[in-house]
Amino acid sequence: MYRIAPSLLSADFARLGEEVRDVIDAGADWIHFDVMDNHYVPNLTIGPLVCEAIRPHTSAPIDVHLMVKPVDRIVPDFATAGANVITFHPEASEHVDRTLGLIRDAGCQAGLVFNPATPLDWMDHVMDKLDVVLLMSVNPGFGGQKFIPETLNKLRAARARLDAYEARSGRRILLEIDGGVKTDNIAEIARAGADTFVAGSAVFGAAKASDPHRYDTILGALRAELAAVKA
């Protein structure tokens, strides 16, 4: 019922394949893959070549978070590189409905990402083309930032919209959260309605490269917090 998606942004980029295998072995569900272009956001990261390079290291879904503008040109490249989920920021696309269609036509699940100040209304007329709604709980561009508390209210509002949609359509859209997720706040974030949790610095910051089981403890702790929510 809950998915944990470690963000590679905080991983060791010199050993990405091993990092991917190790977090999945430790119980992670998805690999979160942050794509930044130094244009839409003030940082520059990784692209389709790196996605393709990590693809053989896991069968877990690769969750590509596009922080790029424009969006459409790069979508097929990530689909070919093995992405399973592709999300983008609506402000970065001239034609949001078209971009969602492009992602789905390429065989991937599609999602919209909402910056802290971006209203949820962007989803209203494209619900049928959404598989994931991702709320940013920090301003995009960097790992290791502090969770913005107002996001809890926004999560509750998004949860209500997605539940209402599920009640009338029978289709469930995932609600993902990204930014500042730690063991000490993941439970309240889940209670506010998130079901999919990106965690970068919390997961990869907790590691000593020499320990082959270095991610078991942190993933176990995040899981234990989530298990307490369900109980």
Interface residue with Zn ion among 19, 22, 34, 131 (CB under 5 A) is 34
Q: Which residue has the tokens 């998915």?
A: 3
Interface residue with ligand DX5 among 48, 82, 90, 140 (CB under 6 A) is 140
Where in the sequence numbering do the catalytic residues fall?
Answer: 34, 178
In angstroms, give the least distance from the CB of 231 to ligand DX5: 25
Give Cα 165 distance to the centre of its chain: 21
3-state secondary structure of 143: coil
Compute the residue count for the chain.
231
Residue 183: which of ligand DX5, Zn ion, none does it interact with, CB under 5 to 8 A by kind? none
Q: Which residues, in sequence order, are bridge partners of residue 31?
A: 62
Interface residue with ligand DX5 among 82, 103, 200, 207 (CB under 6 A) is 200
Stretch that binds ligand DX5, among 102-110, 140-148, 150-158, 167-175 (CB under 6 A): 140-148
Could you say whether residue 131 binds Zn ion (CB under 5 A)? no
C-alpha distance from residue 154 to each of 52, 137, 198 (Å): 34, 10, 17
Nearest residue (CB) to Zn ion, 65 versus 161: 65
Nearest residue (CB) to ligand DX5, 125 versus 146: 146
The span from the CA of 193 to the CA of 195, in Å, is 7
**Which residue stretches of 31-182 are H helix?**
48-54, 75-80, 96-105, 151-169
Interface residue with ligand DX5 among 3, 32, 89, 161 (CB under 6 A) is 32
Could you say whether residue 17 binds ligand DX5 (CB under 6 A)? no
What is the number of other CB atoms lying within 10 angstroms of the CB of residue 33? 27
Which string of x and - marks every residue 43-82 that binds ligand DX5 (by CB under 6 A)?
Answer: ----------------------x-----------------
Residue 109: which of ligand DX5, Zn ion, none does it interact with, CB under 5 to 8 A by kind? none
Stretch that binds ligand DX5, among 22-30, 77-85, 134-142, 148-156 (CB under 6 A): 134-142
Could you say whether residue 63 binds Zn ion (CB under 5 A)? no
Q: Which residues have CB under 8 Å from 116's CB, separation 6+?
A: 136, 137, 138, 139, 148, 150, 151, 154
174 within 8 A of 196, measured Cβ to Cβ: yes
Q: Which residue has the tokens 């907790």?
A: 206
Interface residue with Zn ion among 6, 19, 65, 74 (CB under 5 A) is 65
Residues that bind Zn ion (CB under 5 A): 34, 65, 178
